[in-house]
Amino acid sequence: MSVIVRFAPSPTGRIHVGNVRTAIINWLFAKRSNGKFMLRLDDTDRERSTQEFADGIKTDLAWLGLGHDIFARQSDRFGRYDEVAEKFREQGRLYACYETPDELERKRKRQLARGAPPVYDRSGLKLSDEQKRSLEAEGRKPHWRFFLEDKTMSWDDLVRGKQTIEASSLSDPILIRGDGSYLYTLPSVIDDVDFAVTHVIRGEDHVANTGAQIQVFEALGAEPPKFGHHNLLVGASGDRLSKRLGSLSIQGLRESGLDALSVTSFVATIGTSDPVAPFASLEALAENFEFSKLSRAPARFDERELIALNAKCLHERDYVSVQADLAKIDADGGEAFWLAVRGNLEKLKDALAWWQIVQGPVTPKIDDPDFCAKAAELLPDVEWDENTWGTWTSEVKQATGAKGKALFMPLRLALTGLDHGPELRALLPLIGRVKALARLKGQSA
């Protein structure tokens, strides 16, 4: 069996780390299984779905490296959904209901007050044709529920193991709203059948939905796919993530300067038995993927940990892998520059500040003009390399008696204008003798 999985976001906002976790898990499983990854835009909500958000989802997934093999959008398939809906009506599996949201809420509260489960009482099935006409004359439009057969639905969940749901514990799900628009369930199941999706992998908040959806698959005469429900991602404080958290959208993380592979490595490994660690490639992540590693507890997303992982990833990257990105931010100072500064970066864009220090102009900080003047006199005239710093500072130490911080900090402040940064052994040859001399004399260079 060829594995086909799908990621099915609604283009009603930008995707964030919470829902992209599902995309990453699906993609890694497909990659490891030599299968196919489908991107399906669930855009049946015509009022809230926009082309801008649809394009944004594609951009975000492409940035993460999650390319798709199959693409579809539900707004192109309404004719197919209408066909199945009519078939279900004829079979008596889809029936009209006329309660308003307020009436349904009052029913639910009465049931809870009696200690009964808040399951729909199927009042719609008891309406006569005359009663339906009377309700429609009042201006009411029916919504349509799917009749669940009274039986047990069970499946062997890829993450959670054996799962069982009794149909009697569920309300007949609404498949079509009063305005004729489709809710998630019917189009999703039809698409899974038509595109031969073999594995539906999603968040554990969909477990209860799966029981009802299995019956919809069966009503279509189709074998249900295998299901897997992974743990959810929560924020550092334990709250569920939301599309409203723009800083945690994939767009926001990208624009903040984070590396795509750092994001995928982090999201793929939090909430698993693996330590959070950088991976060299998506292929390496896929090779490491196992459903058995997923925890049942929520995965906690802490942006500070992501930034720390991003820094660790950068510290291990070679020049070739970052050259193009450095060029985009006008910070391509060559391999020697990259090796000099990478250990001081949290995000790649931080390299620009260090390249500007190398190039100048820098306003030096001179606390001891005499010390810096003496150091300027001792600057070597020979061609500079990584040994120049050690040779020069030894001579300055001998001439001034300064050592330790008293020796190195005045030189760093004069040469970079900062009290921290990359090793000057590597940075000094990049700055060069002309600029170093000027800065030691207190000149902006």
Domain containing residue 116: CATH number: 3.90.800.10
Residue pair 120/171 in contact by the 8 Å Cβ criterion: yes
pLDDT for res 242 = 53
pLDDT for res 241 = 62
Same structural domain for residues 50 and 171?
A: no
Q: Domain residues for 168?
A: 79-176
Same structural domain for residues 100 and 156?
A: yes
The answer to whether the peptide bond before residue 422 is cis (omega within 30 degrees of 0) is no
In a domain, 123, yes or no: yes
Question: Domain with 222 in it: what CATH number?
Answer: 3.40.50.620
Please state whether beta strands 161-166 and 174-176 pair in parallel, antiparallel, or not at all (unpaired). unpaired
> Per residue in 228-261, is it b (16+ CB within 10 Å) or e — as a string?
bbbbbbbbeeeeebebeeeebbbbebbeebbbbb
pLDDT for res 244 = 47
In a domain, 433, yes or no: yes
pLDDT for res 120 = 96
- The pLDDT tens digits of the residues spanning 361-413 come to 999 999 999 999 999 999 999 889 999 999 999 999 999 999 999 999 999 99
Overall average pLDDT of the 47-54 stretch: 93
| Mean pLDDT (the chain, rounded) | 94
pLDDT for res 74 = 97
Q: How far apart are CA 269 and CA 289, in angstroms?
A: 9
Q: How far apart are CA 92 and CA 49, in angstroms?
A: 31
Q: How far apart are CA 306 and CA 312, in angstroms?
A: 10
Answer whether residue 239 shows pLDDT above 80: no
Residue pair 6/189 in contact by the 8 Å Cβ criterion: no
Answer whether residue 13 shows pLDDT above 80: yes
Same structural domain for residues 137 and 217?
A: no
pLDDT for res 243 = 47
Answer whether residue 104 shows pLDDT above 90: yes
Helix/strand/coil (H, E, C) string of 213-252? HHHHHHHCCCCCCEEEEECCEECCCCCECCCCCHHHEHHH
At residue 392, the 3 state secondary structure works out as helix
Answer whether residue 310 shows pLDDT above 60: yes
Answer whether residue 245 shows pLDDT above 90: no
In a domain, 312, yes or no: no
Select from 130, 160, 176 the last residue of a domain: 176
Question: Domain with 400 in it: what CATH number?
Answer: 1.10.10.350
Specify the number of domains making up the chain: 3
Answer whether residue 160 shows pLDDT above 70: yes
- The pLDDT tens digits of the residues spanning 327-349 come to 999 999 999 999 999 999 999 99
- Closest CA relative to residue 62, chosen from 248, 260, 284: 260
Same structural domain for residues 155 and 197?
A: no
